[in-house]
Chain A
């Protein structure tokens, strides 16, 4: 059923020997489940792998890679397939290397405040495990309840707390990586200061599975904040909201999340939740603050109240109870589906600009929305310049589909023109590949290629991605 011919029996046997017979999936019906991810790519028989191989240990990955190398078989690594850009979708048949059986948290080193774990551990499980010991693993991509660490590292996942705590890269201290030929590389370690050789750890973070298979990761941790609070501030315009966030950061009162949504988003959520938007509301910030205790939160809340008073606001609310906190977060959590409910299809994008350019990029997106005739609600992480415009359309209508794709092109162009980038936290994968070469320029493209050639000369690792 696939367009790729079946493996020769001895190849299948080799994979079975490596990981155990029951952990090699080859029935077309089952393999179909490994042909997609959470991107908007259509289901396609051309993206079905010839087999799915599910190792449990680094040694097993190494044996699989050695065999794939010897037989020139493409390998597409996969965690939970929750990526938004097609990173784990196989383009050239071969095997999907599914790392979802590698679910052990190996060591929590409280003295050094570090934890090491296998790639199949869910992000939320690592967070909760550390939290039980008073430690904090901050990266919190929106998918953290089901995404896995291997994918977080491979895509350099961000999240809402990036404004204060940074992204996955900021926490990776070391990696164990199985290279294309099956050899096992160790990078980094527990030494905080480490300038012995190239920063190979950094090279693999965000490499989208094209350079090696992350089989273990060592993360640094922070102390778990003792208290958290939530604020909701409504503004007349996105400019005012962005200005308020800039003031907060300049003033040193850094929220642990600063989620921004525009008027269209506010209306969508209000409609879904059967509530009313404040008169004249054009933007809303949902801020999380954290600190050592109630007094610390109270002090931050007062400062933010003062700042937003100066920058102009029409409503300010600080959650006083658990219920109120929950209600405010529910508004943010319900946002994505409320926006999705506005049209048959949504092209959700993930651009990132310098923080100062946030209001301008929103203005340009609004202009693109007007000229394309398609609603483009904008929400995002105001504190770090990462925003998610959603082009709403009906892709079954060819005219709308064409306009939608032109709108996406325009959004990327706007981001690049303002010194921004194609992707803040989702990666390039397949869906943004057509834009990559232009976005980075010829020298960067050749440098990428040189790195790829050095580590994967046969081009077997996640082929067809990024450029």
Chain B
């Protein structure tokens, strides 16, 4: 008689294995995994990676660099979990197993190490932003690869291109603030927005200012890049800093889907910590994505007649936070929204994935670009700088067929 064994046992991979025990390897995730779509070998699929986790935990696969590389090859996009009959959280399993591998091997993979180092230091992010601003001012940023420094489309350029002069500069109608009258709102400016999309970040702040005064506390990175690459200690330190930095705010609004997704789930990482678990939960309860906040606050964007948009759902906003309606509602008020084919399919950005695995990211992006061009929309809009890096690249490659912009720049 053949039996299914459930070799439990402790060991570094036990918690990751616990996440994938519900996987019966049925294969439902195969067609929806964006990486399996561009690299059709089992190792690249969600099922393959979940099996690798079990293989590591059960001693069938050695915990080496090759295993680490294979398990870094995941977008954490949750498309598999969404389709999975048992809702196996592959993304959480990947975070756990990457941490276990980093602990076992003593380091994270070489190519993802730099990002954690840079983003861990507020000063370096600040200096980087200033340096890039300097380069942008004289146009020299174009000498850097566009995966690293995307060519941001400014709101001004967008307005000039798409709107009549009469509309320029006119403030949007002031809404009735429907949300916690007198609530102290704070802006969480993620590293991606600060470094790569300063114009979009200014647009966000322009909108926030229309609704109420807001704070801009000095704060570090949300920590997702660290969590994604097995640097949990760094992540926890950053989380504590952020919790402290926003102590005085009632609402923490961010225009980065990855930041809001991470910040909303801090408490689970402090499970069992008598002080921080509770503080983290209270902090997370204050976090709102920009579009979520604007819809709740009743913000009404100014309409730009003739503007046509399509909207790319960031993984961390749609599947990660269930926010799908709010950005669409805003865009429908700002112009004409044309829905994108497979609108929730990951664009291949995924933090630094596009830098670490450029070929796979490029193949995924090519499909996305075709779908965007298929809509005929002038602008592809999204709500996460991670996606915007990719989509800006797609816009460039389209030879001007469309532009890519953050939602705050068009509403």
Chain A residues in the interface with B (C-beta under 8 A): 1, 25, 27-30, 32-34, 36-38, 40-45, 80-82, 86, 100-101, 122, 143, 145-147, 334, 336-337, 340-341, 344-346, 395-396, 401, 405, 430-431, 434
Contact B1 A32 (CB under 8 A): no
9 contacts between A and B (CB under 8 A): A29-B52, A32-B51, A34-B42, A38-B24, A42-B4, A146-B31, A395-B3, A401-B3, A434-B1
B44-88 vs A, Cβ < 8 Å mask (1 yes, 0 no): 010010011011001011100011001000000000000001110
B24-43 vs A, Cβ < 8 Å mask (1 yes, 0 no): 11111011000000001111
Residues of chain B contacted by A25 (CB below 8 angstroms) = 41
Q: How distant is the Cα of A43 from the Cα of B31 in the complex, in angstroms?
A: 22
Known: A42-B5, A43-B51. A146 touches B30 (CB 8 A): yes
Q: How distant is the Cα of A282 from the Cα of B372 in the complex, in angstroms?
A: 50
Q: How distant is the Cα of A38 from the Cα of B30 in the complex, in angstroms?
A: 12
Known: A38-B27, A80-B27, A395-B3. A100 touches B40 (CB 8 A): yes
Q: How distant is the Cα of A28 from the Cα of B3 in the complex, in angstroms?
A: 24
Residues of chain B contacted by A27 (CB below 8 angstroms) = 66
Among A28, A101, A337, A395, the one with the most B-chain Cβ atoms within 10 Å of its Cβ is: A337
Q: Which residue of B lies closest to A46 (CB)?
A: B60
Answer yes or no: B8 CB below 8 A from chain A CBs. yes
Residues of chain B contacted by A430 (CB below 8 angstroms) = 2
Q: Which residue of A lies closest to B21 (CB)?
A: A344
Residues of chain A contacted by B26 (CB below 8 angstroms) = 38, 82, 143
Contact A41 B60 (CB under 8 A): no
Answer yes or no: B274 CB below 8 A from chain A CBs. no
Known: A33-B43, A42-B5, A337-B86. A146 touches B58 (CB 8 A): no
Residues of chain A contacted by B45 (CB below 8 angstroms) = 33
Q: How distant is the Cα of A33 from the Cα of B70 in the complex, in angstroms?
A: 12
Known: A42-B5, A43-B51. A36 touches B25 (CB 8 A): yes
Q: Which residue of B lies closest to A396 (CB)?
A: B6
CB within 8 A of B54: which of A43, A334, A395? A43
Q: How distant is the Cα of A80 from the Cα of B36 in the complex, in angstroms?
A: 12
Q: How distant is the Cα of A28 from the Cα of B52 in the complex, in angstroms?
A: 11
Contact A33 B51 (CB under 8 A): yes
Q: Which residue of A lies closest to B40 (CB)?
A: A100
Q: How far is the CB of A343 from chain B (nearest CB, A)?
A: 11
Q: Which residue of B lies closest to A404 (CB)?
A: B3
Q: How distant is the Cα of A32 from the Cα of B54 in the complex, in angstroms?
A: 11
Contact A395 B5 (CB under 8 A): yes
Contact B85 A340 (CB under 8 A): yes
Residues of chain B contacted by A82 (CB below 8 angstroms) = 26-27
Among B26, B30, B31, the one with the most A-chain Cβ atoms within 10 Å of its Cβ is: B26
4 additional A-B residue pairs with CB within 8 Å, beyond A32-B55, A33-B52, A340-B24: A42-B3, A395-B4, A395-B5, A401-B3
Contact B62 A1 (CB under 8 A): yes
Q: How distant is the Cα of A395 from the Cα of B48 in the complex, in angstroms?
A: 23
Residues of chain A contacted by B60 (CB below 8 angstroms) = 32, 43-45
Residues of chain A contacted by B87 (CB below 8 angstroms) = 337
Q: How far is the CB of A406 from chain B (nearest CB, A)?
A: 10
Contact A29 B3 (CB under 8 A): no
Q: How distant is the Cα of A80 from the Cα of B40 in the complex, in angstroms?
A: 11
Q: Which 8 A-B pairs have the closest CB atoms?
A: A33-B42, A337-B85, A82-B27, A40-B4, A146-B27, A42-B5, A396-B6, A33-B48
Contact A30 B42 (CB under 8 A): yes
Contact B55 A43 (CB under 8 A): yes
CB within 8 A of B2: which of A37, A101, A340, A431? A431
Residues of chain B contacted by A434 (CB below 8 angstroms) = 1-2
Q: Which residue of B lies closest to A79 (CB)?
A: B27
CB within 8 A of B70: which of A29, A143, A345? A29
CB within 8 A of A36: which of B8, B51, B67, B85? B51
Contact B66 A29 (CB under 8 A): yes
Residues of chain B contacted by A396 (CB below 8 angstroms) = 6, 8
Residues of chain B contacted by A36 (CB below 8 angstroms) = 25, 51
Q: How distant is the Cα of A396 from the Cα of B17 in the complex, in angstroms?
A: 15
Q: Which residue of B lies closest to A336 (CB)?
A: B85
Q: Which residue of B lies closest to A37 (CB)?
A: B25
Q: How distant is the Cα of A28 from the Cα of B70 in the complex, in angstroms?
A: 12
Q: How far is the CB of B138 from chain A (nearest CB, A)?
A: 45
Residues of chain B contacted by A81 (CB below 8 angstroms) = 25, 27, 42
Contact B52 A146 (CB under 8 A): no
Q: Which residue of B lies closest to A348 (CB)?
A: B24
Q: How far is the CB of A353 from chain B (nearest CB, A)?
A: 23
Residues of chain A contacted by B2 (CB below 8 angstroms) = 41, 86, 430-431, 434
Residues of chain A contacted by B54 (CB below 8 angstroms) = 43
Q: How distant is the Cα of A146 from the Cα of B4 in the complex, in angstroms?
A: 24
Q: How distant is the Cα of A337 from the Cα of B43 in the complex, in angstroms?
A: 25
Residues of chain A contacted by B28 (CB below 8 angstroms) = 143, 145-146
Residues of chain B contacted by A43 (CB below 8 angstroms) = 51, 54-55, 58, 60
Among B8, B27, B58, the one with the most A-chain Cβ atoms within 10 Å of its Cβ is: B27
Q: Which residue of B lies closest to A96 (CB)?
A: B42
Residues of chain A contacted by B31 (CB below 8 angstroms) = 122, 145-146
